Amino acid sequence: MKHTCALLDLYRDGELDDAGRERFQSHLTGCIDCRSRLRMLDNLVFVLKTEKIQQVDLAARIARRAFEPAPTWDALIASCFRPKPAVAAAVAGVLLFAFLWLLPGNRTVSAYTEYEKLLNEAESSNLAGRLLVQNDSELLLQLAPLEE
């Protein structure tokens, strides 16, 4: 059987004598592998014969690529940052920052907020009217010992 399968190329090329051709044709009726290989080769030959092959001028293509101006650095950098992904990344970053900033545990009390609290307490206790100060820093210095 394997010996007969080896005759496929000779059969396809028309190099078998009449007895060999008849013996291989009878082999084709029982061998699925040889039939599929023969069909595949026939299809390949058909495609190669019907496909129009265009000649390529490799010398011109190589010369055109060789003498193309090299891209500048700014063009290379800009090509890495396509507009849509860059905008999407920036929006995602802003949203993430805003989300993390607004979480209750992440808010820190700033010095300005502490200053506002001290001024409000001083005004509510009418202590500010009794203290004579020239500026806000003097008021803070006087209020700090009173808090303790």
| Chain segment 36-65, per-residue pLDDT in tens | 998 998 888 888 888 877 777 888 888 888
What is the C-alpha separation between 105 and 61, in angstroms, rounded?
Answer: 63
Do 97 and 147 lie in a common domain? yes
Do 102 and 147 share a structural domain?
A: yes
Residue 45 lies in a domain: yes
Q: Is residue 70 part of a domain?
A: no
Does residue 119 fall inside a structural domain? yes
Judge whether 101 lies within some domain: yes
Asked whether residue 130 carries a pLDDT value surpassing 60, the answer given is no
- pTM, to two decimals: 0.35
Residue 68 lies in a domain: no
Per the document, the length of the chain is 148
Per the structure, the complete domain to which residue 23 belongs is given by 2-50
Whole-angstrom distance, CA of residue 133 vs CA of residue 142: 9
Residue 54 and residue 106: Cα distance in Å, rounded? 67
Residue 87 pLDDT > 60, yes or no? yes
For the chain, the domain total comes to 2
**Mean pLDDT for the stretch of residues 3-29:** 85
Residues 96 and 40 in one domain: no
CA distance 4 to 7: 5
Would you state the structure tokens that stand for residue 105, as one six-digit string? 């545990």
Mean pLDDT of the chain: 76
What does the DSSP 8-state code read for residue 68? S
